[in-house]
Structure 1
Amino acid sequence: MFSLGLEQGGEGWRWRRRLWAGEENLLEELRALLLDVSLLPNVSDRWLWLPDPSGGYAVRGAYDLLTEGANPLIEDALDLVWHHQVPLKVSIFAWRLLRDRLPTKANLAARGVLNSEATLCDTRCGHVETAEHLFLFCPNSVLLWQQVRNWLGSMGVDPNNLPDHLVQFTYLIGVGKAKRSFLQLIWIMCTWIVWNKRNNRLLNNVVTDVMSPVFQKWVFSL
């Protein structure tokens, strides 16, 4: 694929058949992961121990990693991403989001894929594109959550981190099982839409405003 060309529309992206909708979504995620990656033909690959990139792998380091105490709040939130009405790939996306494992610009810069100068949110709001910014604080996302709250008839202040946000949102209108299930579904699908909307802006130069009838139909038809 590298020799054929990985740029948008390059020969490396041509397939023998037309891709299904789900495959198109996976392809967009792959393109996001490969965004601004420069492959160097004369440089060899090497193994890297992510918990300690400078010191490398050590049994003691692996033991400490495995025995670290889990964050109960994150664990509670992770339990909420698995929903029987949500496709598995979307639940995996939500799991990666709460673990901060999505290829946001800030994460790509931390991995050395992007320069620090290229980490600003593509909505031109002037902030670095972290997961919290993209899904909670970016003006488009703030407006989206306001619209959803108005639709649900609920008022409140949103937390400033994603696990807190999911847990609080799930209990907005009561503690009944059916209500929780409904709000889980809304939160997961809203974040999925935000991510796909971001990828369309970044990779396909397609901009969909949260105030547009089409975008509102996506959200409020869930």
Structure 2
Amino acid sequence: MVGECRGLLLDIVPQPNISDQWLWRHEVGGGYSMRDAYHLLTTMDPPCVDTTPDLIWHKHVPLKVSVLAWRLLRNRLPTKDNLVRRNIISHDSQLCVSGCGGLETSHHLFLSCPVFAPLWCLVKSWIGISSADPDLLQDHFV
């Protein structure tokens, strides 16, 4: 909800040379009405709500785990596809380190690699939960 409000506030700009007056960009005349705000909120695309910060940066989660999760969910790990994109390694050396033949991406390493992906079953067994494995890293994390 905070992100939605912050996004709406970006559409209100102070007017120079006019004291105590604001301009609402979504109305032709610049005036603000609840009707116009309601119309904007009900017709705009739903915002991307990121619920993971509370999970990632929890006080009981070690900092190194939080940093790894943050980098993983934002595709900032030094996987071979990211290294190729940054011109650190060549295109022909982006195969998975496990030798399975797949392209090394975060998704591949954590969810679809035949060597590393089965580790999730062991982790779930270790912490005593059972669930269907989601296909997205974000869903898997939550």
2:75 alignment partner in structure 1:
100
Query: 1 or 2, which has the higher helix percentage?
Result: 1
1:98 shift after superposition: 0.4
CA distance in 2, matches of 1:107, 1:84: 30
Q: Which runs of 5+ in 2 are unaligned?
A: 1-45
Shift of 1:131: 0.6
2:97 aligns with one of 116, 119, 122: 122
Change (3 A) 1:92 1:153: closer
Alignment partner, residue 6 of structure 2: none
1:150 partnered with 2:108: no
Distance 1:83 1:140, change over 3 A: farther
Q: How does 1:202-217 map to 2 (within 5 A)?
A: none
**What RMSD, in angstroms, separates the aligned Cα atoms of the two structures?**
2.2
Give the letter aligned to residue 136 of structure 1.
L
Distance 1:83 1:140 in 2: 30
**Deviations, residues 136-195 of structure 1 (Å, cap 9, x unaligned):** 22223322111122334433321111111111xxxxxxxxxxxxxxxxxxxxxxxxxxxx
Q: Is the 8 A contact 1:159 1:165 kept in 2?
A: yes
User: Does 2:48 align with 1:71?
Assistant: yes
Q: Figure out how many residues of one structure are paired with residues of the other and give that number.
A: 98
Moved more, 109-118 or 139-148: 139-148
Question: Over alpha carbons, which structure has the higher Rg?
Answer: 2
- % identical equivalent positions: 48
- Range with bigger deviation, 151-160 or 129-138: 151-160
Contact 1:77 1:164 in 2 (8 A): no
Match of 2:86 in 1: 111
- The reply to whether residue 134 of structure 1 matches residue 120 of structure 2 is no
Preserved CA contact (<8 Å) 1:104 1:130: yes
Which residue identity does 1:135 align to in structure 2? Answer: F
Instruction: Give the direction of change, closer, same or farther, for the CA distance of 1:153–1:90 in structure 2 (3 Å limit).
Output: closer
**C-alpha separation in 1, matches of 2:128 and 2:65:** 26
TM-score w.r.t. the length of structure 2 is 0.60
- Secondary structure of 1:126's match? coil
| Cα distance in 2, alignment partners of residues 154 and 112 from structure 1 | 41
Structure 1, unmatched stretches of 5+, are: 1-68, 168-222
Distance 2:51 2:118 in 1: 26
Match of 2:59 in 1: 84
- Displaced runs of 4+ in structure 1, greater than 4 A? none
Give yes or no for contact 2:109–2:117 (8 Å, CA) kept in 1: no
Asked whether the equivalents of residues 120 and 129 of structure 1 are also in contact (C-alpha less than 8 Å), the reply is yes
Larger RCO of the pair (alpha carbons < 8 Å, separation 6+): 1
Deviation at 1:70, TM superposition (A): 5.2
Which structure has greater strand proportion?
A: 2
